[in-house]
């Protein structure tokens, strides 16, 4: 393809991307949206699809500067998709933990606590900076922080692969796989203000620092105390990862320790080996481990989490089998199935995992075209996957939710290895078919996986999980209800405990935080509620009942009434025990008189 044609293609891609962003920006969200995808104007998606199609093709087929432009186009398009809540003016995105993180950020901004008092203050500090210096709301500042932390993932995955193999095709393939955002699985890792998930996007920076330290052995760039620029980068990136979330820092220490272990074994066994020419990472392992221990040992929340993990392993009811069976039964009731959900959520991850697994096996037995140093670096990754996989199994036995967080980290490494694996796969196929045909086949498969990956970056009804958009109306409804409610009267929700909104509205440290009402908050009893016994649905006590558009979408559009009956739900309006005291388009709060 001629340079002029490529230039026109790039121009079309960037223009399409700009048009898509402009269309999305011109259609702000005014009420709750169950899906970021469905809420975005339809015309935006063909524009983004064109930009991504050009990016995939040029990232794999081009070399040099034009490949870099293609990678940049694709990374910008994916960043735009991840940024849709910001572009379309969402008040906030994320419920559960995200609202608690919002509360901590509000505490920092209002001086109720210092940033260093948090165990992992990086995201909260970034959100505070955007609020204080940029003049945006605290909620919007956190959404900006989410995007800022996401970008290094797209930038550093291809940079790591460039050091791993030096193959331009591997770099392009790794970039495309990074656009699938495989570490986000919507089981325990989420695209939102969720610090454990956000930390995954910084892991490639740590991996890049380690690989660069191993490969770029410059002696003229030594710093005081025997340091090199890349060893300093290892420490700084490790500290940044720790401040975003310590669990992923633990995994990073395990990765570096695995590299140390391989180096130690090689030095004990061989007198002449390519690995002997590489600098050791013993010091980096000890320093990173010590940083984590010093930071974590005095933190109460860390100790409680560790105790809960150990208790979970030795509990009588271990594993996730029962939970999976229950979820499968529920899916069947609403017309879905686990197999359908697996295809939607994990088929792309399964394909990439299979490709990488086969490649690592061939690399270990010496059946690839990698040079000696490249093979040694892949060996490091393979060695690290062993303890990381063992940790996944332990988590699965003790706290299954944590297992899927562990899977997120593992898929960061698999994303990196995928670039090298795909490049070698194309090279192998080119012995049987023309290289252009092999590259085109790889582009088609990666393009299909990319669609699946981007379809599930955000939760939506397509995976039976409504989006966690917190509209301004919902936020204001909770704020009004909690500000004007009777002191210490509990707040109840339909399938959702309102106390998280108290976190987001009032913070967690101030005098107004966790009032008696929200400290006693919870969910109404589904059986009593479905029987029309609204007065007795919360233990017979007087309470406020919050009902949001999110609740209605989840219970009736997604779950199709398997937990709450819609007719009895509508009966609230005419029941004499329930008075509506707050109401807007997305939120209603009822003052329900109990039986006591």
CB atoms within 10 A of CB 38: 12
Question: Residue 521: pLDDT band by 50, 70, 90 thresholds?
Answer: confident
The yes-or-no verdict on residue 321 having pLDDT over 50 is no
Tokens 């669990």 belong to residue: 247
Name the average pLDDT for the chain.
90
Q: List Cβ neighbours of 580 (8 Å cut-off, separation of 6 or more).
A: 573, 588, 589, 590
- pLDDT tens digits, one per residue of 108-144: 999 999 998 888 999 999 999 999 999 999 999 999 9
Question: Residue 323: pLDDT band by 50, 70, 90 thresholds?
Answer: very low
CB atoms within 10 A of CB 266: 16
Give the residue from 138, 195, 242, 193 showing the smallest Cα distance to 507.
138
- Report the distance separating Cα 461 and Cα 466, nearest Å: 5
- Report the distance separating Cα 107 and Cα 104, nearest Å: 5
Give the residue from 548, 551, 567, 549 showing the smallest Cα distance to 559.
551
CB atoms within 10 A of CB 388: 18
- Cα angle for residues 523, 525, 527 (degrees, 5° grid): 150
Kindly report the pTM of this predicted structure. 0.94
DSSP-H helix ranges across 216-320: 229-244, 246-269, 282-297, 300-313
Distances (CA, A) of 451 to 43, 47, 412, 432: 17, 14, 19, 28
Give the residue from 466, 498, 410 showing the smallest Cα distance to 186.
466
Task: Using DSSP, state whether 493 is helix, strand or coil.
Answer: strand
Q: Where are the beta strands (DSSP E) in 343-444?
A: none
For the residues 430-449, what does the mean pLDDT come to?
93
- pLDDT tens digits, one per residue of 524-568: 999 999 999 999 999 999 999 999 999 999 999 998 888 888 888
For the residues 303-326, what does the mean pLDDT come to?
52
- pLDDT tens digits, one per residue of 150-202: 999 999 999 999 988 889 999 999 999 999 999 999 999 999 999 999 999 99
CB atoms within 10 A of CB 296: 18
Give the residue from 124, 21, 38, 19 showing the smallest Cα distance to 79.
21
**In percent, how much of the chain has pLDDT > 90?**
69
Task: Give the range with max mean pLDDT: 255-259, 322-326, 463-467, 551-555.
Answer: 255-259
Task: Give the range with max mean pLDDT: 173-182, 229-238, 300-309, 492-501.
Answer: 173-182
Task: Using DSSP, state whether 577 is helix, strand or coil.
Answer: coil
Which is it for strands 587-592 and 543-548: parallel, antiparallel or unpaired? Answer: antiparallel
Question: Residue 511: pLDDT band by 50, 70, 90 thresholds?
Answer: low
- Cα angle for residues 84, 90, 95 (degrees, 5° grid): 100
């Amino acid at each position: 393809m001629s340079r002029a044609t490529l230039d026109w293609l790039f121009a079309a891609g960037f223009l399409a991307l700009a048009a898509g962003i402009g269309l999305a920006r011109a259609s702000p969200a005014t009420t709750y949206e169950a899906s970021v995808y469905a809420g975005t104007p339809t015309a935006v998606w063909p524009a983004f699809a064109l930009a991504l199609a050009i990016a995939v093709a040029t990232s794999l087929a081009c070399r040099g500067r034009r490949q870099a432009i293609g990678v940049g186009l694709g990374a910008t398009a994916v960043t735009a998709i991840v940024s849709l809540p910001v572009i379309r003016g969402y008040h906030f995105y994320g419920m559960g933990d995200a609202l608690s993180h919002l509360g901590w950020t509000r505490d920092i901004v209002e001086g109720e606590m210092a940033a260093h008092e948090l165990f992992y203050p990086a995201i909260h500090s970034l959100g505070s900076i955007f609020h204080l210096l940029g003049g945006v709301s605290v909620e919007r500042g956190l959404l900006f922080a989410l995007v800022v932390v996401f970008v290094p993932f797209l930038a550093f995955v291809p940079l790591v692969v460039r050091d791993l193999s030096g193959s331009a095709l591997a770099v392009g393939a790794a970039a495309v796989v990074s656009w699938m955002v495989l570490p986000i699985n919507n089981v325990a890792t989420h695209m939102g203000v969720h610090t454990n998930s956000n930390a995954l996007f910084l892991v490639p920076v740590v991996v890049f620092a380690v690989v660069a330290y191993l490969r770029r052995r410059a002696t003229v760039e030594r710093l005081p105390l025997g340091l090199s620029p890349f060893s300093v980068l290892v420490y700084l990136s490790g500290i940044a990862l720790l401040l975003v979330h310590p669990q992923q820092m633990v995994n990073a220490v395990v990765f570096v320790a695995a590299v140390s272990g391989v180096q130690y074994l090689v030095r004990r066994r061989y007198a002449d080996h390519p690995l002997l020419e590489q600098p050791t990472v013993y010091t980096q392992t000890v320093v990173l481990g010590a940083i984590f221990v010093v930071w974590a040992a005095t933190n109460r929340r860390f100790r409680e989490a560790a105790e809960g993990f150990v208790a979970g392993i030795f509990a009588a009811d271990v594993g996730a089998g029962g939970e999976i069976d229950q979820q499968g039964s529920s899916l069947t009731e609403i017309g879905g199935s686990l197999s359908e959900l697996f295809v939607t959520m994990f088929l792309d991850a399964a394909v990439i995992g299979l490709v990488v697994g086969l490649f690592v096996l061939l690399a270990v037995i010496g059946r690839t075209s990698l040079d000696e140093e490249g093979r040694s670096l892949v060996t490091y990754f393979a060695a690290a996957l062993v303890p990381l996989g063992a940790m996944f199994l332990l988590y699965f036995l003790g706290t299954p939710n944590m297992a899927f967080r562990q899977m997120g980290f593992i898929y960061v490494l698999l994303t990196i290895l995928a670039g090298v694996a795909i490049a070698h796969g194309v090279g192998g196929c080119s012995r049987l078919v023309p290289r252009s045909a092999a590259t085109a086949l790889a582009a088609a498969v990666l393009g299909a996986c990319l669609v699946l990956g981007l379809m599930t970056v955000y939760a939506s009804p397509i995976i039976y999980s409504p989006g966690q958009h917190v509209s301004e109306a919902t936020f204001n409804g909770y704020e009004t209800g909690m500000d004007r409610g009777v002191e210490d009267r509990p707040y109840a929700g339909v399938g959702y405990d309102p106390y998280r909104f108290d976190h987001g509205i009032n913070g967690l440290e101030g005098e107004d935080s966790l009032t008696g009402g929200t400290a006693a908050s919870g969910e109404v009893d589904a059986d009593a509620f479905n029987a029309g016994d609204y007065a007795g649905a919360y233990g017979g006590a007087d309470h406020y009942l919050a009902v949001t558009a999110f609740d209605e979408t989840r219970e009736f559009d997604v779950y199709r009434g398997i937990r709450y009956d819609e007719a009895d739900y509508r009966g609230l309006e005419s029941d004499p025990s329930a008075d509506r005291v707050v109401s807007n388009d997305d939120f209603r709060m009822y003052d329900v008189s109990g039986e006591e």
